Amino acid sequence: MEDSLQQRLTHLGIVVVIPTYNNEKTLCRVLDGVLNYTEQVIVVNDGSTDGTSRILDDYKGIERIDFAQNKGKGCALRAGLARAREQGYEYAVTIDSDGQHYPSDLVAFVEEIERSETPVLLIGARNMTQDSVPKKSSFGNKFSNFWFWFETGIRLEDTQSGYRAYPLNVIPRKYYTRKFEFEIEVIVRAAWNGVAVRNIPVQVLYDPSERVSHFRPFKDFTRISILNTVLVFLTFFYIIPRNFFRSFKKKSLNDFIKENIFGSEDSPEKMAASIGFGVFMGIAPVWGFQTALVITLSVFFRLNKVLSFAFSNVSLPPFIPLIIYASLLVGGLVLPSAGANGVLKLDSISFDTIQQHLVQYLVGSLLLATIMGLLVGFGSYILIRMKQNKSVSAE
């Protein structure tokens, strides 16, 4: 054992977690390789039915978790990470037991952790272009890389490698997936929490005579696709709005106008469209979802999300009764109400009123939102152009 590396692993609080399921051909090689560098090892036997238990019986000094039945790689990793955290470790380096990873690359993980000033989640980047790598593995990795970028904005070369270093105190503690898709859930949610996620280059060995893959193409790909669907939905309707609020600083009205309108590098057309869109969304009948929708759609349509969000606040509580009343009046022009004399009064507006005239309200609010969005947007364009022309004349 390399004493210097063992000391560095101990100093950094690093333990190696090895999930295993029916890998009796390669398990000894992986265990012996890891034990050459550290005795801080946790093995999770995920209900193996081959000779795994007998092999592990010969390794008396390692921490061991045994499942009576196979639960899936995600469950095995969750158990290993939880045990590592319970024992006070700071990092858990996970390595698959199928023999594709080199224990000697532990040095690269240690060096990168030592260089990092803040906790970092590291993923070993394999060379997926070499001839020994199955085509389906290369395609699956590219597929996973794309969706990780789409959900987090972080570009990685390899998001499927099981050779990883998890910073135990900053990654989530509760998870929802149990199989292979866990390795996607954990890195996406860690990135959403602001944890740095990076690749480091590692070696890889694909030996078809030894390697046993438990990935079931149809079932596991379906699980991963469902997870990515959920993560994309959360990205647009929770993460993007949440990040916007965190970065949005309160300013005075004058500072806001100077910085985000007259000091913006956006074109007058884009700023006016953003303002008009914000007004439209503020009046539209999407109560409870306006903030998430306006920020998400602003990003999607490449509008100025700050302006769109600011002007969507025409629906602040004091103005809501007026907006509802105006919507009902506009709707009444298209769909006259059958109520008493067809007359609505402002002081009679309530949720019961909306329920009784729901279609009238929905039609009216969409018409009102469109009209006001166009008027305010066009008016903003004229004012912005006038201000810019004055500034040019003054120069």
Tell how strand 14-20 and strand 91-94 pair up.
Answer: parallel
- Among the residue ranges 58-67, 119-128, 133-142, the one predicted with the least confidence is 133-142
Contact (CB, 8 A) for 303 and 274: yes
Cα gap 68→252, rounded to integer Å:
62
Q: What is the pLDDT of residue 350?
A: 55
Distance from C-alpha of 370 to C-alpha of 358, rounded to nearest angstrom: 18
| Residue 221 pLDDT | 78
How far is it, in rounded angstroms, from Cα 108 to Cα 8?
12
* Average pLDDT for 225-238: 86
State the virtual CA torsion across 273, 279, 280, 282 in degrees, nearest 10.
Answer: 140
| Residue 260 confidence (pLDDT) | 52
pTM: 0.69
Q: What is the pLDDT of residue 340?
A: 42
Quote the CA–CA distance of 16 and 137 in Å, as a whole number: 25
* pLDDT at res. 160: 92
pLDDT value at residue 357: 74
Kind of pairing between the strands at 120-125 and 196-201: parallel
d(CA 304, CA 293): 14
What's the confidence (pLDDT) of residue 320?
A: 74
Question: How far is residue 326 from each of residues 309, 312, 345, 371, 374, measured CA to CA in Å?
Answer: 22, 17, 11, 12, 16
> Phi/psi class of residue 154: alpha, beta or left (left: φ > 0; alpha: ψ in -120 to 50)?
beta
Using one digit for the tens of pLDDT, what is the confidence trace for 250-292? 555 555 555 555 556 778 899 899 999 999 998 998 876 777 7
pLDDT digits (tens, 9 = 90+) for 97-124: 999 999 999 999 999 999 999 999 999 9
β partners of residue 224: none
In contact, 298 and 304? CB cutoff 8 Å: yes
